[in-house]
Amino acid sequence: MFFEMMDDDMIVLKKIIGLFKKRKRHSITIGKARSVLVSGNLVSYGHARNGPRLLLHHGSRWKRARKTISIDPRKEPNPHIIIVGMSGYGKSTLFKSMLLDIKSMGIAAIVFDAHNEHERLVKALNGKVHDASRSGINVLELNGLSVQERIAELVSMFKSVYGLGHIQATKLSQCLYYTYRKKGTGNAAPDIGDLIGELSIFIRNAKGAAELNTLMHLREKISLLRSAAFMRNPVSIEGLSTGISSFSLAGLKSSEARIIYIHELLKRIYLSMKGNERELGLRIFMMIDEAQFLLGAQREFSTIRSIVEEGRKYGAGVIIATHVTANLDKQILANASTLISFYPRDPSEISYVSSAMSGSNPTERDLVRGKLRSLRQNEAMVVSGLMKAPVVVETPAARRISETIERMGAAKSDADNDWLSKLATPTDYDTAERDIGHEAMSALVEKGAVETMEHNGKTYVMKKNPSKSIEHELHVREISKRLSELGIRHYVMNNSMGPDVVAYINGKKTAVEYETGRKSTQSTARMLASRAKEYGSVIVFVNARAAKFYKDTFGSDAVAVFSADEIANAFVV
């Protein structure tokens, strides 16, 4: 027996298949289709004693498909994507593939990286990697709230994360009140250290063992947040609005610290997002991998739900990858247009996903459930607002993504070396940026391959060199320029074999040096003694910080010491 679509239903099938006939130029590729679930009026042909027999009935089945499946999040009812499935089946690999496509679409992305596994890709994309253990968020900042509002919000958060009781929450509220009152609410907002200090005062003044134990327990929990992640090197939210950024969260050792960090960061992003002009199109994705480790089961945290519910009008999309949908707020699932499921081992997960992908049709739900159970590695089932029929796709293999990253890394390294060769000497930053490009220049600065310096009203940039600093090179250049202006014959040596500049001043051969003040006293003394012996006369310029020390320590009849500020008026004959 075989099945054949009626003419009208064949047209419907063609329309369904047409949705993913071509990969759109600006879309996120999911993979190559293997089969699509179709339904409609089916004709079955059988054989009876009196000849062929035709039966007409309604049914559903999986039909083979060989097309590339892509999602254009800008055309979907909303741009949000949920990826679920067991570890090891291709979830994180697809996540990486999506990030590559998002970059090519020119859309910004913020990646929340639970296990630091996306760092290489972000760097290859000229993105910025933030180590959450060093990139700080001061959770006590008011962020536009009143002190009372912020205290209520913080108490609710800590109560939820740490499971605080009513008495502990009350004591925390009191400590926060005194912390704000003592520190003030200006630019220097209090931080976790100030809160812990206030808790210590409360402990010293505790009345009775019960109150003492309550406060000690509270300080023990809050003290876990006393780290750079919550106190130093504040994250610039404005800097996250362009390009690719990621937050490596593995350095935050406790799950509570991760939940508080990501909640506070998302809240700041949400407030910044609400300042955007509305309805200007998709501009940024927030991508959360291994969400079960980052979001927890804190139902009280409504920030990510708010971003999902309001994101489209503010140009923000969310991509969440997680083991099971049970970890997610149901409103997040309800507002995601695209659902992608890899193999889900848990029976309740299979039941939930099959219902979400097939609707109320029990026959289709059974077909989807059976297919979900048989998914292999790098196979997933996809459904979206526009592509309503579930499709089984072969997603990108980890090897292919790794090779892509390696190629990008190699090409980027070659490009970096080419660009750095142009910056062997100090170059005006604006000129360098025009030659190299803004993104490449920013990437070189971020990775520490170059150093920058403000000098005479301009910003200069130079490739990092262990034996020469940009400060030294700029001032040697300035010394040579000043000598030329005065018509003093000279030449620049600027190597280890001799002085920085040899000048003929009043007919006398003179060694001219620029010192950054970083050499040891003994090394500098030996060098100047050698120059004085060979040239008879030595002029030393040194930065303003070290000028007095150099004059007091090395100044003599043979060695004249001046501040770098005096170069412009030096050598007057």
Strand order across the 450-455 sheet: 427-428, 458-463, 450-455
Helix (H) or strand (E) holding 88: none
Give the domain 400-463 fold: Arc Repressor Mutant, subunit A (1.10.10)
Phi, psi dihedral angles at 161 (to 5 degrees):
-70, -45
User: Whole-angstrom Cα distance, residue 341 to residue 89?
Assistant: 10
User: Whole-angstrom Cα distance, residue 128 to residue 447?
Assistant: 9
Q: Tokens at residue 167, please?
A: 């008495």
Q: What is the DSSP letter of 556?
A: S
CATH architecture of 470-569: 3-Layer(aba) Sandwich (3.40)
Q: Tokens at residue 17, please?
A: 């298949």
pLDDT tens digits, the chain, 573 residues: what are they?
333 444 444 444 444 444 444 444 478 999 999 999 887 655 455 555 565 555 444 567 888 888 899 999 999 999 999 999 988 899 999 999 999 999 989 899 999 998 888 988 998 888 888 888 888 888 898 888 889 999 998 998 898 888 888 999 999 999 999 999 887 655 578 888 899 999 999 999 988 899 999 999 999 988 888 887 887 668 888 888 888 999 998 888 788 888 889 888 988 888 888 776 676 788 999 999 988 777 655 444 578 888 888 888 888 999 999 988 877 878 888 889 999 999 998 888 898 899 888 877 888 889 999 999 999 999 999 999 898 889 999 998 877 787 777 777 666 665 666 777 778 889 988 888 887 777 677 777 777 788 888 888 888 999 888 778 899 999 999 999 999 999 899 988 866 677 999 999 888 899 999 998 888 888 889 899 999 998 989 999 998 888 889 999 999 989 999 999 999 888 865
Taking a C-beta distance cutoff of 8 angstroms, is the pair 95, 321 a contact? yes
Pairing of strands 68-71, 28-48: antiparallel
> According to the model, what pLDDT value does residue 364 have?
87
Q: What is the DSSP string of 378-412?
A: TEEEEE-SS--S-EEEEPPPHHHHHHHHHHHHHHH
> According to the model, what pLDDT value does residue 415 have?
61
Taking a C-beta distance cutoff of 8 angstroms, is the pair 309, 330 a contact? no
SS (H, E, C) 80-119: CEEEECCCCCCHHHHHHHHHHHHHHCCCEEEEEECCCCCH
Q: What residues are paired with 318 via a beta bridge?
A: 286
Determine the longest span between alpha carbons in the chain, in angstroms. Answer: 126
User: Whole-angstrom Cα distance, residue 99 to residue 124?
Assistant: 11
CATH architecture of 25-36+63-124+242-255+263-393: 3-Layer(aba) Sandwich (3.40)
Q: Which amino acid is at 532?
A: A
**Residues 6 or more apart whose Cβ sits within 8 Å of residue 171:** 202, 211, 214, 215, 218
- What's the half-sphere exposure (Cβ side, CA atoms, 13 Å) at 537? 9
User: Whole-angstrom Cα distance, residue 110 to residue 307?
Assistant: 13
Q: What is the DSSP letter of 326?
A: G
Helix (H) or strand (E) holding 187: none
User: Whole-angstrom Cα distance, residue 382 to residue 1?
Assistant: 29
> According to the model, what pLDDT value does residue 247 have?
92
User: Whole-angstrom Cα distance, residue 181 to residue 567?
Assistant: 51
SS3 content of the chain, % helix, strand, coil (to 5): 45, 25, 30
User: Whole-angstrom Cα distance, residue 551 to residue 320?
Assistant: 62
Residue extents of the structural domains in the chain: 25-36+63-124+242-255+263-393, 147-224, 400-463, 470-569
Taking a C-beta distance cutoff of 8 angstroms, is the pair 212, 243 a contact? no
State if pTM tops 0.75. no
